[in-house]
Amino acid sequence: MASAHSIPSIEERFEFTSGAKRNLLIGGGIGLALVVLGAYLAANGGGHEAASHGAEHAASALAHATPEHAASGHEAAAAAEGHHAKSWVARIWANLWVNGVYFTGISVVGMFFISYNYLAQAGWSAVFKRIPEAMPAFLPFTGAILLITFFLGGHDLFHWTHEGLYEVGSAEYDKIIAGKRGYLNTPFFVARLVIYFAVWYGLWRVIRNLSLQEDEIGGTEFYEKSIRFGTAFLVVFGVTSSTSAWDFVMSIDTHWFSTMFGWYTLASWHVAGLAVITLTVVMLRERGYLRAVNSSHLRDLGKFVFAFSIFWTYVWFAQFLLIYYANLPEETIYFLERFRGHGGFFKAPFFITLFLNFFFPFLVLMTRDAKFTHSILKVACWSVIIGHYMDFYTNIMPGSVGAAAELGPLEWGFFVIFLCAFTYSVASQLEKANLIPRNHPMLEESLHHDIA
């Protein structure tokens, strides 16, 4: 339905002011200070206290066990202690990995969003497409972080990198992990990591350039090419979103596997990316930009965040229910480690994740008016952004640092650094082109987008 209100000017240029740059640099500096404080505390006993607490918990449980169970329990405890009692340095690598993986997902979802909008030839999102279009520019940064972290700290994070696991007769030999060596080996892992980022970023550069050319020249040629390249990206991402989830997250718990894990990770990345897009639109509107974005656009964005929060919960519960129902030890260990392992440390983050990612946004965004109210959208989006950081934290930390894990200055400092760097990258991209794509073929439809 066409809207009766007047259409604001589509000539808008975003100004990345020196004040905004300074604030982001200050935010990054605060994050760095938190990292230094957290590393100092960890180096002087923080992580050892957590490991000690986990060992005491295990000892208490073994004291009440039968002799047979106690014997096997001691073996399991010794193995867990050897694998999980990591140093504070390992915590730094793990935090770099958590944030690198999380912000990689948010960045690539920008490309995912514009690609499926191109494929559907959707018109409603044209007016704010510059925002998701700007997000993948951060991929080289996160790709470099993941590559460096793997080379310097991969031995601490990934159990399968230990050579003794593959030597028959060795005390470390593991038949199950040895059977996965064809896929989980360092050269192939690094090659896949490089390919993911090269293909994702390369396809984004193509679509970004086509979008900028369209802005200057006009016509439908660039739009039609964008549809083709966007479709190619969706085909590629349909595969690589799953394989990258196996590589970046699932391979940390090398014995464990889930056939739903690729969908689960994509659902988490997707809704976090949608929350970032929505939050950015709202904050730009509050600063006088994107005047052509109306309540109908906001309501549709709110619907996206609301719906895909439910979808993430559906995939989460489906994965959990299948494992719970089958009750196979090699599958249930993943959740038992998060419920009971390491002194029960991960139980609180596990349930906080569910609250922030489902219950809170579901209740807050349930009503129609809530989905276009700025204050409510901001609260709901921040809940989702922080909640899915916690999701990746609980997926990665138990298998990488175990009992040494904490949720203190070190963790939040890294999160703030990555958040400020990502914001700086997006703002830099928004400054390079007209904020509204003036020659987009679907712009007129988007300007008159109106839901009764």
Q: How confident is the model at residue 404 (pLDDT cuts 50, 70, 90)?
A: confident
Q: What is the pLDDT of residue 425?
A: 98
Per-residue pLDDT for 218 more than 90? no
Q: How confident is the model at residue 452 (pLDDT cuts 50, 70, 90)?
A: low
Percent of the chain with pLDDT over 70: 89
Half-sphere exposure of residue 165, counting CA atoms within 13 Å on the CB side? Answer: 20
Mean predicted confidence (pLDDT) in 2-10:
59
Instruction: Give the span between the Cα atoms of 350 and 419, in whole angstroms.
Output: 22
Instruction: Output the CA torsion sign for 152, 153, 154, 156.
Output: positive
Mean predicted confidence (pLDDT) in 214-232:
94
Of all residues in the chain, what percent are helix, strand and coil, respectively (each to 5)? 80, 0, 20
Mean predicted confidence (pLDDT) in 434-440:
94
Per-residue pLDDT for 274 more than 80? yes
- For 394-424, letters b (16+ CB in 10 Å) and e give bbbbbbbbbbbbbeebbbbbbbbbbbbbbbb
CB atoms within 10 A of CB 35: 21
Mean predicted confidence (pLDDT) in 146-169:
94
Per-residue pLDDT for 416 more than 60? yes
Instruction: Give the span between the Cα atoms of 329 and 335, in whole angstroms.
Output: 10
Which DSSP string do the residues of 124-163 spell out, in sequence order?
A: TTGGGTHHHHHGGGGHHHHHHHHHHHHHHHHHHH-GGG-G
Per-residue pLDDT for 234 more than 80? yes
Q: What is the mean pLDDT of the chain?
A: 89
Taking Cα atoms as reference points, which of 152, 157, 154, 160 lies closest to residue 183? 160
Per-residue pLDDT for 243 more than 60? yes
Mean predicted confidence (pLDDT) in 162-188:
92
Residue 171 φ then ψ, to 5°: -65, -25
Residue 13 φ then ψ, to 5°: -120, 125
Q: 359-396 pLDDT, tens per residue?
A: 999 999 999 999 999 999 999 999 999 999 999 999 99
Mean predicted confidence (pLDDT) in 75-84:
42
